[in-house]
Amino acid sequence: MNILAIFAHPDDETMLSGGTLALLAKLGAAVHYVSATRGEGGEPGEPPLCIQSELGEIRAQELACAVRTLGGISLEFMGYIDPQVGEEGVLFPFLADPMVLRAQIQESIHRHQIGIVITHGSNGEYGHPAHRLVHDSVYQTVSEMGENAPLLYTTQAAFPQHPKPRLMNKDDPAHLILDITPVFDQKVRAALCHRTQHALFIRRPSRETGRQMTVPEVIVRIESLHRAWPAVEGRLEDELVKCLNRFTVQD
């Protein structure tokens, strides 16, 4: 089973679906990772671990660490530049020619003989425009591939007891809800690889709980997936479902 995990920035892969991807690797899947950007527009840490101009290279190294930890077998960057966060936290998509972006996605699918693609949800999780751009580009690419199209699954799918409602893609109902406890330690270690992002990971949870949280404390044990292509009709039965069946939990 060849899987392509394609996300907008380093750390998206771990925080959105790291447990699922680690489980798949442990079960023998070849998981290939693609990041649209190097995350050069993000935060360099608190206190800063580098200057802003060095952040892209540092985050690329962090992602390589996380991919190894999750059991991935390859990592590629698409070469897009992550815009810096604007005033009052305004987020932006990266600039891309839509046709070129879709061609890059299709090329990766063909080169790695991908059977399953995992990417962002349709709402961009918390509405991040770069996440939505990647989702829309992947969806259009896969849906136009006809009978040769891989299965397309998206992360942070919606269900009533979602552990991180802010990340939940409300328009993507969950088809798989997974207990990733068997690989929880791997997911934590992958998150710890993303050192420049630790302050970001814990900032909101610390504010909400009224105490300083740690990175391991904010990592969740439940992840969810929505099958975006082909559309689900009736009972869901495919290669991914059969592979992960023993880890599913009831909604």
The predicted structure's pLDDT at residue 190: 98
The predicted structure's pLDDT at residue 88: 74
For all residues of the chain together, what is the average pLDDT? 95
pLDDT at 33 over 70: yes
The predicted structure's pLDDT at residue 23: 98
237 versus 175: the higher-pLDDT residue is: 175
Residue 33 to residue 65: CA distance in whole angstroms: 12
The predicted structure's pLDDT at residue 108: 97
The predicted structure's pLDDT at residue 251: 56
Q: Once rounded to an integer, what is the mean pLDDT over residues 179-198? A: 98
The predicted structure's pLDDT at residue 237: 87
Q: What are 42-86's pLDDT values in tens digits? A: 999 999 999 999 999 999 999 999 999 999 999 999 999 999 888
Q: What are 74-97's pLDDT values in tens digits? A: 999 999 999 988 887 888 999 999
The predicted structure's pLDDT at residue 239: 92
User: pTM of the predicted model, to two decimals?
Assistant: 0.96
Q: What are 154-165's pLDDT values in tens digits? A: 999 999 999 999
Q: What are 96-129's pLDDT values in tens digits? A: 999 999 999 999 999 999 999 999 999 999 999 9
- Which residue segments constitute the domains of the chain, with CATH numbers given? 2-247 (3.40.50.10320)
